[in-house]
Structure 1
Amino acid sequence: MPISGSCHCGATKFEIDFAPETATRCNCSFCTKKGALWAYCEPDQFRLTTPIRNAAQYSPTTPENKHYFCPTCGCATFSDNPDYSVFAEGDWEESQARFDPTKRRISINLWVLDDFDIEALPIEHVDGRNQW
């Protein structure tokens, strides 16, 4: 059964095909200013159920990083980024060799999920302020 998410006004809505088991809190400047807790999934586990034109995009660093938010109510909803998770798995040079910028990963702001208890999830901390 899919889990629904939406911005506050409902202009941006989506569904995910999985139940998040952890939440990620990143302390980079983007995530802390957004106040988001993230869950990650493959693109085929995420479905936008409203037109993409209902969401605005912000790309603070490079065009590959697409962070979406509602231009009406301002809620950060999801991001579509390269899968940077390989950089957490080993040394920098090895990770660069395995990195494929065409492989995407969707980040969901857990706070915008409807009827889902994120308070029950363990929180993993990422030191994005010093790692990026």
Structure 2
Amino acid sequence: MFGACHCGAVTVALVAKPEYINLCDCSLCAKSGGAWGYFTASDVAITGITSSYRRADYEKPAVEMHFCPSCGTTTHWVLTEHHEGDRVGVNMRIFEPSELNGIEARTLDGRNWTGKTEAAHRRAPGQLGTDVFL
């Protein structure tokens, strides 16, 4: 799979489709426009220069968001030094919607999530292209 920011300066290539996509409504995800697919770093190839942002309202933020400095499109996030693991979140909105049909979409209640438990869902999962659209 191959996606790009709006102006095409940053591209993301994936070895496979994600198992599911999270639509989170926490303040960071909602304002960045992310619809997250999760991958290991070796499954993601990013080209182009990105700028990054770490939220300032958390002492130890979990992720560092990356976006195109030209058009502002959020492309992905990486874990910060405060969290262990090999996980990259890719904004699946940078891919053609037709490539995502059939993938499960989960709507997370990020606004009320404390990070201490699994996040709750706002509604039952749906399927992209059938009853959920990005």
TM-score tier, shorter chain, comes to 0.7 to 0.9
Q: Are the equivalent residues in 1 in contact too, given 2:3–2:94 (CA < 8 A)?
A: yes
Question: Who is 1:5 aligned against?
Answer: 3
Q: TM-score, normalised by structure 2?
A: 0.72
Question: Who is 2:119 aligned against?
Answer: none
Question: Who is 1:122 aligned against?
Answer: 104
Query: What secondary structure does 1:74 align onto?
Result: coil
Structure 1 or 2: larger helix share?
Answer: 1
- CA RMSD of superposed structures (Å): 2.1
Report the Cα distance in structure 1 between the residues aligned to 2:12 and 2:35, rounded to whole angstroms: 17
Question: Who is 1:31 aligned against?
Answer: 29
Amino acid across the alignment from 1:74:
G
Amino acid across the alignment from 1:73:
C
Report the Cα distance in structure 1 between the residues aligned to 2:25 and 2:62, rounded to whole angstroms: 20
Report the Cα distance in structure 2 between the residues aligned to 1:67 and 1:74, rounded to whole angstroms: 11
The percent identity for this pair of structures is 28
1:112 equivalent in alignment to 2:94: yes
Mapping of 1:37-52 within 5 angstroms? 37-50=35-48
Any gaps of 5 or more consecutive residues in structure 2? 115-134
Structure 1 residues 109 and 131: CA distance shift in structure 2, 3 A: same
Question: Who is 1:59 aligned against?
Answer: 54
Between 1:118-127 and 1:73-82, the stretch displaced more is 118-127
Question: Who is 2:66 aligned against?
Answer: 68
Question: Who is 2:18 aligned against?
Answer: 20
Mapping of 1:59-98 within 5 angstroms? 59-60=54-55, 61=58, 62=60, 65-81=63-79
